[in-house]
Chains A and B, each alone.
Chain A
Amino acid sequence: MPRARRRQSHALIHLVLGVGGLIMAFPFLWQIVMSLSTNAEVQSVTPTFWPAHLQWQNYAAVFQRLPFLSQLWTSVLITVIRTLAQIVLCTLAGYAFARMRFRGRAVLLGLVLSILLVPSQAYLISQYQIVQGLGWLNTLAGIVAPGLFSAYGTFLMRTAFLNLPAELEEAARIDGSGPLRTFWSVLLPVVRPSISVLAISAVLWSWNELLWPLVVSTRATQMPLSAALATLAGDVTVNYPVLMAASLLAMAPILILFILLQRRVIDGLASSGLK
């Protein structure tokens, strides 16, 4: 392909992606602007695209009103435990559902997937009573327990394993590897991109979840950041800029993590392309 043509077609692609990207990112940019404005500027009919004076004290106000660090730690703890558990459990089960034969496979898969069909609030009281019965109220175990098991993640990993050519496995078997070894050293590396997707989903979901931790725990220090944000938003006095600052702070750790993870996802994708 002639270079000129290629560059021209790239220009069009850049236009599409650039405009699209701007639309996608706009709410965040707007949020940053609002978080640094005064309440009056936020509510002016002609938008204030840049505040007259940057109101950094909006961020200070957030830290004054929330035990930010301890809640950040809780969020991190919940997120890490759940994500690791989901990766292990879903990868194992996804592999079995995709590549192994056993009696009742279809039924069991259906059973697992069926939990996606029920509104999550419908689980609330039952799950609470189960956690209570296990004596896990007000413990980390109780907070993380139901979230260790993900039907969605199982479905995702099953799809990933289904996508693989059978030759990979057969070659390993001919070499005499057992199922665990085949799984661990041959197949797992290949589905790394999907594991990254699973990890991202699990992280986000754990990070953003609000109702369950609030319900099973009565200790403020065991509340995640998402709950803290809800506490602020529920205040009788609404100060939009402070709310914007708080929500940015609540999202910031995950956004940073994401940008770091993003590299890994792309690396994973690239390595799978080389197979």
Chain B
Amino acid sequence: MASFPRRALAAVAGTVAAAATLVACSSTGASTASDSDTPYSAPDTNVSANLTYAVWDQTQVKAINANLAEFNKKYPNIKVNVDVTPYADYFTKLQTEASSDSLPDLFWMNGPNFQLYASNGKIEPITGEVKAGAIDPKNYPQSLDQLYTLDGVQYGVPKDFDTIGVWVNKALFAEAGVPIPSKDWTWADLQSTAAQISQKLASKGVYGISAGMDGQTTYYNTIFQSGGSVISPDGKTSTYDSPATQKGIQFWTDLVKSKAMPTIKQLTDTTGDQWFVSGKSAMYQGGSWARSEVAAAPIAKDVMVLPVPKGDQQATVIHGLSNVVAANSQNKQAAQALQVFLASKEAQQQQGDLGAVIPAYNGTQDAFAKSMPGVDLQLFLDEVSYAKPLPVSKNTAAWNTLETNLLPDAFDGTKPVDAVLKDLTSQMNADLAKE
């Protein structure tokens, strides 16, 4: 008995050591900086490979499968496994995989996370594909090409995009006896219209306008419209303390104060889109992606849409996802072939026709524009000409959290707007300095 425990422990220690070796092995191969000049040539059509393609939106899987069926006509021996992970866990999973060098061959990337993966050499530039003429960035909205470019190197082209507009419930306007604003409306028009409706329909608990109160659908738009910005062009400092930016924030504070929109607490409890689709707000500033939700709601027949109003200038936020290839994919050539295919006009046209998203390839968006009869969805496409990309940096999530935590105090008037923005600027700068 005396010797057994020791031997057992030795065995256990051996196991642990083995595990340690495994871990050590798996993490040493990390920083293989990818050469951005690797030329690309389309693989042989009978090349065989097993690819994993990671996405987060179950509702798009149908269109993706249609794309893959087309892709397999050309490359019958490339098998693609579509991996759907709910958005809430998608980036946690991706981080774990990236830390272990087992990223999916091809995966969805968004603006806020892009620079993190690009700057750490985890994703493959598309330089080779562009040089070979397989992908031409000119075919996509320029602001989105920009979004997926870091230090002059582009890592992906957009697969889709979305812009922001104001959804309108005509029936509630009629009920309140307020005329519907025209397409070239301004901040003042929005403020007075919303306040009037809130006032006239107060007894029914209906508000003039609701919004998501996040950056992309809400305050980034007004910040850009007043000529402000969120982050300096080099991505190193916060610009939240600039007067123009403050004006863009103040816009929402004023709306809440005038009771033209529900309070921030109400909008956290019940999201802006829910206020709108349940007929409790006459307008909703939201993304083009709200279309499917609005179309399915009982109010659908009364709906129209307006562009976001003009401030000092006309502006909106554009964002789109991109398909990127893992830098250390075992099947890089096959993964790139799929990346090229998904960026093609043919594939994006199919995406648009199946109504999943607004495809990014110029000239493939017709299906979306016509997808809601009687509603002028074309304006979401027209907005692209003055749209600005979603502001991002290497570690966007860190300061996005700050925005979520600090700005509500400014919106609901608990603290003066300038004080909140000063605080936000200094905390955001501290986070940016860490990048």
> Is the beta-carbon distance between B83 and A234 smaller than 8 angstroms?
no
Contact partner, B289, options A129, A218, A236, Cβ 8 Å? A236
> Is the beta-carbon distance between A215 and B93 smaller than 8 angstroms?
yes
> Is the beta-carbon distance between B297 and A125 smaller than 8 angstroms?
no
Chain B 257-298 interface 0/1 with A at a Cβ cutoff of 8 Å (1 = within) = 000000000000011011001111000000001101100111
Q: How far is the CA of A231 from the CA of B84 in the complex (A)?
A: 8
Contacts of A211 on B, CB cut-off 8 Å?
89, 92
Chain A 215-249 interface 0/1 with B at a Cβ cutoff of 8 Å (1 = within) = 10011100100010011111111110000000000
CB-CB contacts below 8 Å: B46-82 with A: 52, 54, 56-59, 81-82
Q: Known contacts being A45-B205, A129-B23, is A39 close to B81, with CB within 8 Å?
A: no
Contacts of A239 on B, CB cut-off 8 Å?
296
Contact partner, A233, options B5, B86, B289, B293, Cβ 8 Å? B86
Q: Which residue of chain B has the shortest Cβ distance to A221 in the bound complex? A: B81
Q: Known contacts being A137-B102, A219-B83, A220-B82, is A129 close to B27, with CB within 8 Å?
A: yes
> Is the beta-carbon distance between B26 and A132 smaller than 8 angstroms?
yes
Contacts of A40 on B, CB cut-off 8 Å?
278-279, 298
Contacts of A125 on B, CB cut-off 8 Å?
95-96, 99-100
Contacts of A218 on B, CB cut-off 8 Å?
52, 54, 81, 83, 104
Q: How far is the CA of A18 from the CA of B99 in the complex (A)?
A: 53
Q: How far is the CA of A65 from the CA of B168 in the complex (A)?
A: 29
CB-CB contacts below 8 Å: B392-407 with A: none
Q: Known contacts being A214-B86, A214-B93, A230-B86, is A133 close to B22, with CB within 8 Å?
A: yes
Q: How far is the CA of A211 from the CA of B95 in the complex (A)?
A: 13
Q: How far is the CB of A205 from chain B (nearest CB, A)?
A: 18
Contacts of A124 on B, CB cut-off 8 Å?
92, 96
A15 contacts chain B at the CB level, 8 A cutoff: no
> Is the beta-carbon distance between A210 and B89 smaller than 8 angstroms?
yes
Q: Known contacts being A130-B22, A220-B82, is A234 close to B56, with CB within 8 Å?
A: yes
Q: Which residue of chain A has the shortest Cβ distance to B19 in the bound complex? A: A130
> Is the beta-carbon distance between A234 and B96 smaller than 8 angstroms?
no
Q: How far is the CA of A45 from the CA of B277 in the complex (A)?
A: 15
Q: Which residue of chain B has the shortest Cβ distance to A237 in the bound complex? A: B293
Q: How far is the CB of B14 from chain A (nearest CB, A)?
A: 15
Q: Which residue of chain A has the shortest Cβ distance to B23 in the bound complex? A: A129
Q: Which residue of chain B has the shortest Cβ distance to A42 in the bound complex? A: B278
Q: Which residue of chain B has the shortest Cβ distance to A218 in the bound complex? A: B83
Q: How far is the CA of A34 from the CA of B305 in the complex (A)?
A: 30
Q: Known contacts being A102-B5, A234-B88, is A128 close to B96, with CB within 8 Å?
A: yes
Q: How far is the CB of A39 from chain B (nearest CB, A)?
A: 6
Q: Known contacts being A103-B5, A104-B5, A129-B22, is A238 close to B273, with CB within 8 Å?
A: yes
Q: Known contacts being A40-B298, A133-B19, A133-B25, is A234 close to B292, with CB within 8 Å?
A: no
> Is the beta-carbon distance between B89 and A238 smaller than 8 angstroms?
no
> Is the beta-carbon distance between B83 and A237 smaller than 8 angstroms?
no
CB-CB contacts below 8 Å: B191-208 with A: 205
B85 contacts chain A at the CB level, 8 A cutoff: yes
Contacts of B185 on A, CB cut-off 8 Å?
none
Q: How far is the CB of A253 from chain B (nearest CB, A)?
A: 20
B386 contacts chain A at the CB level, 8 A cutoff: no
> Is the beta-carbon distance between A132 and B102 smaller than 8 angstroms?
yes
A163 contacts chain B at the CB level, 8 A cutoff: no
Q: Known contacts being A125-B99, A214-B89, is A43 close to B22, with CB within 8 Å?
A: no
Contacts of A134 on B, CB cut-off 8 Å?
22
> Is the beta-carbon distance between A230 and B292 smaller than 8 angstroms?
no
A126 contacts chain B at the CB level, 8 A cutoff: yes
Contacts of B102 on A, CB cut-off 8 Å?
132, 137
Contacts of A126 on B, CB cut-off 8 Å?
23
CB-CB contacts below 8 Å: A122-149 with B: 124-126, 128-130, 132-134, 137
Q: Which residue of chain B has the shortest Cβ distance to A39 in the bound complex? A: B278
Q: How far is the CB of B89 from chain A (nearest CB, A)?
A: 5
Contacts of A38 on B, CB cut-off 8 Å?
298
Q: How far is the CB of A195 from chain B (nearest CB, A)?
A: 26
Q: How far is the CA of A237 from the CA of B60 in the complex (A)?
A: 13
Q: How far is the CA of A220 from the CA of B95 in the complex (A)?
A: 19
Q: How far is the CB of A127 from chain B (nearest CB, A)?
A: 9
B88, B104, B297 interface centre (most CB from chain A within 10 Å): B88
> Is the beta-carbon distance between B26 and A237 smaller than 8 angstroms?
no
Contacts of A233 on B, CB cut-off 8 Å?
86, 88
Contact partner, B84, options A39, A103, A220, Cβ 8 Å? A220
Chain A 248-275 interface 0/1 with B at a Cβ cutoff of 8 Å (1 = within) = 0000000000000000000000000000
Contacts of A238 on B, CB cut-off 8 Å?
271, 273-274, 293
Chain A 87-109 interface 0/1 with B at a Cβ cutoff of 8 Å (1 = within) = 00000000000000011100000
Q: How far is the CA of A103 from the CA of B1 in the complex (A)?
A: 9
Contact partner, B270, options A43, A210, A215, A234, Cβ 8 Å? A43
Contacts of B58 on A, CB cut-off 8 Å?
65-66, 231-232, 235
Contacts of B100 on A, CB cut-off 8 Å?
125, 128-129, 132
CB-CB contacts below 8 Å: B19-39 with A: 19, 22-23, 25-27
Q: How far is the CB of B368 from chain A (nearest CB, A)?
A: 15
Q: Which residue of chain B has the shortest Cβ distance to A41 in the bound complex? A: B278
Q: How far is the CA of A238 from the CA of B19 in the complex (A)?
A: 44
Q: Which residue of chain A has the shortest Cβ distance to B27 in the bound complex? A: A129
Contacts of B27 on A, CB cut-off 8 Å?
129
Q: How far is the CA of A45 from the CA of B296 in the complex (A)?
A: 22
Contacts of A39 on B, CB cut-off 8 Å?
277-278, 297-298
Q: How far is the CB of A239 from chain B (nearest CB, A)?
A: 8
Q: How far is the CA of A112 from the CA of B89 in the complex (A)?
A: 28
> Is the beta-carbon distance between A214 and B293 smaller than 8 angstroms?
no
Q: How far is the CB of A31 from chain B (nearest CB, A)?
A: 18
A38, A102, A231, A232 interface centre (most CB from chain B within 10 Å): A231
Q: How far is the CA of A103 from the CA of B7 in the complex (A)?
A: 12
Q: Known contacts being A40-B298, A133-B26, is A215 close to B92, with CB within 8 Å?
A: yes
5 further A-B contacts with Cβ under 8 Å, apart from A230-B89, A233-B88, are A132-B100, A134-B22, A214-B86, A220-B82, A230-B88
7 A-B pairs with C-beta separation under 8 A: A130-B19, A130-B22, A133-B19, A133-B22, A210-B89, A214-B93, A220-B84
Query: Which 3 pairs between the two chains have the least Cβ-Cβ distance?
Result: A133-B22, A237-B293, A218-B83
